[in-house]
Chain A
Amino acid sequence: MAAPGSGAARPGATNGREGAPALPTGRTIELLLLVFAAVIVTGALVLVEANQEQELTPTLLYVGLAYLVVLTLAHLAVRRFAPYADPLILPSVALLNGLGLVMIHRLDLADQDRAALLGQPLPGSLVFKQILWTAVGLALFIAVLWRVKDHRTLARYGFTCGFVGLVLLALPGLLPSSISEVNGAKLWIRIGGAGIQPGEFAKILLIVFFAAFLVQKRDLFSTAGRRFLGMELPRARDLAPLLVAWGLSVGVLVVERDLGSSLLFFGILLVLLYAATERVSWMLIGLGFFVVGALIAYQLFGHVQVRVQVWLDPFADYANRGYQIAQALFGLGTGGVGGTGLGAGRPDLVPFAESDFIWSSLGEELGLIGLASILVVYLVLITRGLRSALAVRDSFGKLLATGLSFAVALQIFVVIGGVTKLIPLTGLTLPFLSYGGSSLVANYALVAMLLRISNAARAPLTRRPAAPAVPIADAGTELVQRPAVGPTTGPLPGPTGGRP
């Protein structure tokens, strides 16, 4: 219905914004959904407080207010800097972040219980730290939306991003263990009490780099592809990026002893390669590399063998290595379909219940129903990101949005699969749910970039900053390019703007 309108609006674009009201921005929907998310989170908090028989403390009130302020500011920032951004992404994030805060608060209460029982001093409040990290995340979120007016500018910094990303990734591995090692994995930079995991930021920077790199390289591929038409396998020298990716992830595995990050990097880069080249053979070759790498890693590294043994039978070494996963399974089993109710279970029996194992904490108290709902929220977030990738006009944006969305997807698969004994356990956090500053802040930046791309995908052509200044002739050349990608996708993004 908006299709003829957008065509008609183009000539009128110069004389004002009359055309704008015809194109819904989705901001009202976003606001309503944010309110909805806030209501759910508040309800969850009330349940926790009721089941734990708590009275509202000032700290909790501040945390709650801070959460609402973060939602409001994020919404205002989107209104201001990315008015056509996808309206479902931010509410999904708000809901996940809110539920994470509630669960972290709930585990705080359990820790305080235990300390009181053992006569130890009360532990610090993790939820208070987490809301501070949320505020930092919001700051970065707004900064990205504000400073990155057009995601395509990021492509120009592709190699810079790649370099910085590599440095961040390698840094903990090169630093002495006293600074970088926590629970056997060298992922941290810890100075004083605070610590960050640079890998979380490296992940995003490397996605930017690979998207930019592959878009450049893709033109070469298309010419090369014509020359070697009918050839199933890519040329040996084109394997270089894959080899680099593989080497990178193996390096992470060896130096930083982190299975999860290694798997994550390799998976993301493989998927980006596939999206850029459209060749399934890349996937097959990549999976081959993965299998070989996994087998070698299993043979060479004790920590990989331990992980696999614990995965196969966590109860064989229940008291030591299997304890955590066994307790997580007990928690999930006790929760069953309906869960014990928020605040009525004992998720604190699982070590790292608030970070790596927050999924089993949620599963114990919300049950299968709750976990399935949260998975759907993640799925909404990921598919809206991929939808933006489909709708955005430029190749770099497509690759970037795909990479960012898939990063979230793979990460939740690796974490949830690990906690529920589907795959061997790895040490990663759940985006937005788990306690952990670096993960939260980095993922807020990730979402800001997704919103920026979705804004570009949904905004009418006339509203794009470049459009009014560029002569009709230039706009025409852009239209010629699009059918090359696929004639059916050409008319879709602009006029309909990806409206659901």
Chain B
Amino acid sequence: MNTPIRRIAIAVMALVLLLLGNLTYVQVVKAGDYRDDPRNQRVLLAEYARKRGQISADGQVLAQSVETDDRLKYQRQYTDGPAYSPLTGYYSVIYSSSGIERYADPVLNGSDDRLFARRLSDLITGRDPSGGNVVLTVKPSVQERAYEEMSKKGFEGAVVALQPKTGEILAMVSTPSFDPNPLASHNSGTQQQAWKADNAADPATLPNRAIDQTFPPGSTFKLVDTAAALQNGYTPDSQLTAAPNITLTGTNTTLENYAGTQCGTGQTASLREALARSCNTAFAQLGGELGADKIRAQADAFGIGRSDLSIPMPVTASGVGDLPDTAAVQQSSIGQRDVRLTPLQNAMIVASIANGGQTMAPHLIKEVQGPNLDVIDTTEPDRLGRSMPADVASTLTDLMLGSEARTSGGGKITGVQIASKTGTAEHGTDPKNTPPHAWYVAFAPANDPQVAVAVLVENGGDRALEATGGSVAAPIGRAVIAEALRGGQ
């Protein structure tokens, strides 16, 4: 019976060959599909075992991985978590990640192409692979001041401070904020509890209001109208209506000035005075005269409507909405109707004016470092486009100085000229009885701008229905500017 045994042996080898062939199919041909399947957590989990890079700003460590006794090896720790969490985001085993943790992940986990040489040497020397570091453009003193100003009164809202010449983000605050530390806990109970609490929080704590959400800009949008007007034959002395209210073209709807007042003393008001007093009727008329196309073109020139902006976190697109008729343009010209901006976008508008009409790409990452802190890559300032000629920007700056002079609220800085505009934006289904959003956009010093800010305080802050941009948002904006200039920018 040796012949059948030999045949059986051959059959066994055939079976093994079949297994090997199938294994080759699974582990070579289909390997990529299986590895990259979104349901396959292995690649993600491998990251957690590696030493992740740190996030720092101006020498101050904001997020770092510390070795632990438990076997997840590295615990993510955040210094001053809530103040910086809109920037750093969180890094959770269960709930993935957000912010820089998410959008600079290739650098932090070491897989970025710029770290290739380092990885190669890790492989050769047998050193434990570790991620690169991210250095932010943020000035910690400005960030912390902005957070303190917003949170000490329990305001909901956002503050963005930009260096107008480079587009560096000096501060980006969103309040109320969350602490990313419990989300990075190695105890899943703690993680789950924190996640539940963060999601249940009202007002919400997880979104970064500065880039994730859009708000009606109110009167701050008049800067866009003015920029368009100055490039289309208007001068600061062009006369506009000073009526306390007007009826929108082709409708019965009336639009009135704040508190129903006359715009100044005369029958007409100059553009300069209209901006300084923020007269709604004048700008509604101006917008109507300019027309939808010119308003929209100017908005586009400031970057409104761009959906591809990333800092590297993606920035929600701002927009002016549909402008089907003159009434819609008139309404939209005072930053109401469907006009909606992110606080970052509003900061970009003033930064562009401050930089002589040149809009710079806002960015958060200053440098990428290797694990041993040597600089691998530095972000170069990038121009997004020109919003207006330099002389128009300079005229507009002049008008904004007039606006600042008429703006109340504390915190004025002696010896520093601030160019600003306030906004008090109505919203909701019952706008007259809903506390408005208070805005303050500004840059300083006016003659050599070093910082541009946008402050948004939602739902009236501590003044409820009485709130205005000047009374609620302006003091915060000025404090942030003072802090930014103190650093000898």
Using a CB–CB cutoff of 8 Å, the interface residues on chain A facing chain B are 52-53, 109, 112-113, 116-119, 271, 274-276, 278, 318, 326, 329-337, 340, 344-346, 349, 363-364, 367-368, 371-372, 375, 378-379, 382-383, 386, 389-390, 395, 398-399, 402, 405-406, 409-410, 412-413, 416-417, 420-422, 485-486, 489
A333: which of B15, B16, B24, B35 is its contact (CB, 8 Å)? B35
| Contact call B31/A336, Cβ cutoff below 8 A | yes
| Contact call B1/A118, Cβ cutoff below 8 A | no
Q: How far is the CB of A137 from chain B (nearest CB, A)?
A: 24
User: B70 to chain A: which residues have CB within 8 Å?
Assistant: 116-117
A117: which of B32, B43, B187 is its contact (CB, 8 Å)? B187
Is B260 part of the binding interface, using a Cβ–Cβ cutoff of 8 Å? no
User: B45 to chain A: which residues have CB within 8 Å?
Assistant: 346
The CA-CA distance from A395 to B1 in the complex, in Å, is 8
User: B93 to chain A: which residues have CB within 8 Å?
Assistant: 117
User: B267 to chain A: which residues have CB within 8 Å?
Assistant: none
Using a CB–CB cutoff of 8 Å, the interface residues on chain B facing chain A are 1-6, 8-9, 12-13, 15-16, 18-20, 22-24, 26-28, 30-35, 37, 39-43, 45-46, 49, 70-73, 93, 186-189
User: A53 to chain B: which residues have CB within 8 Å?
Assistant: 71, 73
The CA-CA distance from A116 to B70 in the complex, in Å, is 8
Q: How far is the CB of A386 from chain B (nearest CB, A)?
A: 5
With A119-B189, A333-B31, A409-B12 as contacts: A390 and B6 at CB distance below 8 Å:
yes
A330: which of B5, B12, B37 is its contact (CB, 8 Å)? B37
User: A363 to chain B: which residues have CB within 8 Å?
Assistant: 23, 27
With A117-B186, A329-B34, A422-B18 as contacts: A386 and B42 at CB distance below 8 Å:
no
Given contacts A119-B189, A336-B27, A489-B2, 9 further A-B contacts (CB under 8 A): A109-B71, A113-B71, A333-B26, A334-B35, A336-B35, A349-B41, A413-B15, A422-B22, A486-B2
A-B contact pairs, 12 of them (CB 8 A): A271-B8, A329-B26, A344-B49, A349-B42, A363-B23, A368-B28, A379-B13, A382-B12, A383-B13, A386-B9, A413-B15, A485-B2
Q: How far is the CB of A426 from chain B (nearest CB, A)?
A: 15
When C-beta atoms are compared, the residue in chain A nearest to B27 turns out to be: A368
The number of A-B residue pairs with CB atoms under 8 Å apart is 152
User: A416 to chain B: which residues have CB within 8 Å?
Assistant: 19, 23
With A334-B35, A422-B19 as contacts: A383 and B5 at CB distance below 8 Å:
no
The CA-CA distance from A390 to B5 in the complex, in Å, is 7
User: B9 to chain A: which residues have CB within 8 Å?
Assistant: 383, 386
Q: How far is the CB of B309 from chain A (nearest CB, A)?
A: 35
When C-beta atoms are compared, the residue in chain A nearest to B186 turns out to be: A117
The CA-CA distance from A346 to B35 in the complex, in Å, is 12
User: A368 to chain B: which residues have CB within 8 Å?
Assistant: 23-24, 27-28
User: In this complex, which of B6, B19, B72, B187 has the most chain A Cβ atoms within 10 angstroms of its Cβ?
Assistant: B19
| Contact call B42/A336, Cβ cutoff below 8 A | no
Q: How far is the CB of A490 from chain B (nearest CB, A)?
A: 11
User: B2 to chain A: which residues have CB within 8 Å?
Assistant: 390, 398, 485-486, 489
B32: which of A333, A340, A410, A421 is its contact (CB, 8 Å)? A333
The CA-CA distance from A278 to B2 in the complex, in Å, is 9
Q: How far is the CB of B251 from chain A (nearest CB, A)?
A: 55
Q: How far is the CB of B46 from chain A (nearest CB, A)?
A: 7
A375: which of B19, B26, B39, B72 is its contact (CB, 8 Å)? B19
When C-beta atoms are compared, the residue in chain B nearest to A54 turns out to be: B71
User: A329 to chain B: which residues have CB within 8 Å?
Assistant: 26, 30, 34
Q: How far is the CB of A443 from chain B (nearest CB, A)?
A: 17
User: A334 to chain B: which residues have CB within 8 Å?
Assistant: 31, 34-35, 40, 42-43
| Contact call B19/A398, Cβ cutoff below 8 A | no
| Contact call A346/B1, Cβ cutoff below 8 A | no
User: B41 to chain A: which residues have CB within 8 Å?
Assistant: 346, 349
With A329-B26, A334-B40 as contacts: A117 and B3 at CB distance below 8 Å:
no
B27: which of A332, A390, A399 is its contact (CB, 8 Å)? A332
User: A271 to chain B: which residues have CB within 8 Å?
Assistant: 8
Q: How far is the CB of B44 from chain A (nearest CB, A)?
A: 10
With A330-B42, A334-B34 as contacts: A386 and B72 at CB distance below 8 Å:
no
| Contact call A420/B26, Cβ cutoff below 8 A | yes
With A363-B23, A378-B16 as contacts: A406 and B8 at CB distance below 8 Å:
yes
The CA-CA distance from A170 to B182 in the complex, in Å, is 55
User: A364 to chain B: which residues have CB within 8 Å?
Assistant: 42
| Contact call A278/B4, Cβ cutoff below 8 A | yes
With A330-B40, A333-B33, A413-B15 as contacts: A371 and B23 at CB distance below 8 Å:
yes
User: B186 to chain A: which residues have CB within 8 Å?
Assistant: 117
| Contact call A402/B35, Cβ cutoff below 8 A | no
| Contact call B30/A333, Cβ cutoff below 8 A | yes
| Contact call A333/B34, Cβ cutoff below 8 A | yes
A402: which of B5, B33, B37, B49 is its contact (CB, 8 Å)? B5
Q: How far is the CB of A167 from chain B (nearest CB, A)?
A: 29
| Contact call B188/A335, Cβ cutoff below 8 A | no
| Contact call B27/A367, Cβ cutoff below 8 A | yes
- 5 cross-chain pairs, A with B, having the tightest CB-CB distances, nearest first: A333-B34, A330-B40, A368-B27, A422-B22, A333-B31
Q: How far is the CB of B91 from chain A (nearest CB, A)?
A: 15
When C-beta atoms are compared, the residue in chain B nearest to A486 turns out to be: B2
User: In this complex, which of A318, A334, A395, A405 has the most chain B Cβ atoms within 10 angstroms of its Cβ?
Assistant: A334
The CA-CA distance from A364 to B71 in the complex, in Å, is 20
User: B35 to chain A: which residues have CB within 8 Å?
Assistant: 330, 333-334, 336
A335: which of B12, B13, B27, B187 is its contact (CB, 8 Å)? B27
User: B37 to chain A: which residues have CB within 8 Å?
Assistant: 330, 333
Q: How far is the CB of A121 from chain B (nearest CB, A)?
A: 14
The CA-CA distance from A329 to B25 in the complex, in Å, is 11
The CA-CA distance from A335 to B4 in the complex, in Å, is 38
The CA-CA distance from A234 to B221 in the complex, in Å, is 97
Q: How far is the CB of B193 from chain A (nearest CB, A)?
A: 12
User: B24 to chain A: which residues have CB within 8 Å?
Assistant: 368
